[in-house]
Amino acid sequence: MNKVQTVSLIAQGETMRSILERIETIAASDSSVLLIGETGVGKELIAEYVHRASPRNTQPLVKVGLSALPPELLENELFGHERGAYTSAAVEKKGLFELADSGTIFLDDIDDFPLGLQAKLLRVLESRELMRVGGTTPIPIDVRLITATKVDLKELVNRGIFRSDLYYRINVVPIVIPPLRERREDIPPIIHHFLQRYAANRTINVANDAMLALVNYSWPGNIRELRNVVQRMALFANGEIQMKDLPQECRGDTSRDLIVKACQRCFTEENMTFDHVVSCLEVNLLRQALSDSAGNRTQAAKALGMNLSTLRDKLKKFDIE
């Protein structure tokens, strides 16, 4: 089977290959794209791929990490301001939407977009024109929109913290990007790709048992975690990466093994009551589920087979962040 690789994307398995093949068709259109996937799965790389494969590829691609922008500055950053709009606005400023004119704007973590600004964003997308802060004249814009979310936006709509009309406006073409644990066949070529990047002047092999352990690891941080692990191993590797060179969490301990180890005192201390043992196990199950899901409570609740509201109640009960 041939391997497809572009914009640092590697797809040897059928799952990612089919996604990339769909993107070839999607990119040729001007439809809004919603990328859905866990933290670290490569949503930004997919956005770059869509832009570079589109007719807008010679125009700007403006990437916006919404979770990194303070809510009070977001309107100004996205839509700009006129001179004198407020005390420190000595000159006019173009917003990120204007900078992306004729090109593509990528709004990452759209699930973090403040509810109070969602109506203005919807107006901009529907009317294809914006009003700067302090402005009186609409400014026409022509941008292709790509958004990304790490959670189920439909659930946020049901909870009343994400507008349904905005959801349907950005969810024209949804693309679900699977976590790394669901496409393990891609892990070896991705590892070799990162080894070539971080050890370009050296030849580094991976021992068979070490590679098997890396493939079997759950990678809760997905490709971002894998990249960091390979970069660290490449720094210290001497010709071949062996099992001893792997981080402890990658050496074959399953989540169940880690929980049992964390609860060793529950089974050995004579003064631990039944309730204490149950609470200890419960706390460690909750913590491990959050760790495996990189802090995503929806995914953690699903893994534990409980409702999200039940998970929240238990986290509050045991004071777990």
Q: Work out the angle at residue 150's Cα, subtended by the Cα atoms of residues 146 and 156, and round it to the nearest 5 degrees.
A: 95
Q: What residue has token string 């866990």? A: 38
Measured CA to CA, the distance from residue 151 to residue 6 in angstroms comes to 26
Say whether both 187 and 143 belong to one domain: no
Number of domains in the chain: 3
pLDDT mean for each 10 residues of the chain (321 residues): 48 83 90 94 93 95 92 88 68 89 96 93 94 85 96 94 96 94 91 90 89 90 93 89 89 59 57 71 82 82 82 86 73
The amino acid occupying position 82 is: E
Residues 89 and 208 both lie in one domain: no
pLDDT at res. 238? 84
Neighbours of 70 (CB within 10 A): 7
- Tell me the C-alpha distance between 78 and 272, whole Å: 56
- The pLDDT, as a whole number, for residue 6 is 41
**Shared-domain flag, residues 244 and 200:** yes
Write the CATH number for 126.
Answer: 3.40.50.300
Same domain, 51 and 196: no
How crowded is the C-beta side of 269, counted as CA atoms within 13 Å?
11
Enclosing H/E stretch for 34:
strand 33-36
Q: What is the pLDDT of residues 10-38, one digit of tens each?
A: 877 788 888 888 888 999 999 999 999 99
Q: Which range of residues forms the domain containing residue 225?
A: 181-250
Secondary structure (DSSP) of 195-235: HHHHTTTS--EE-HHHHHHHHHS--TTHHHHHHHHHHHHHH
- Residues 27, 40, single domain; the answer is yes
pLDDT in tens, 40-61: 999 999 999 999 999 999 999 9
Query: Domain check: are 174 and 238 in the same one?
Result: no
CATH number for position 214: 1.10.8.60
Domain boundary among 230, 250, 270: 250
Report d(CA 297, CA 309) in Å as an integer: 10
pLDDT in the model for residue 136: 77
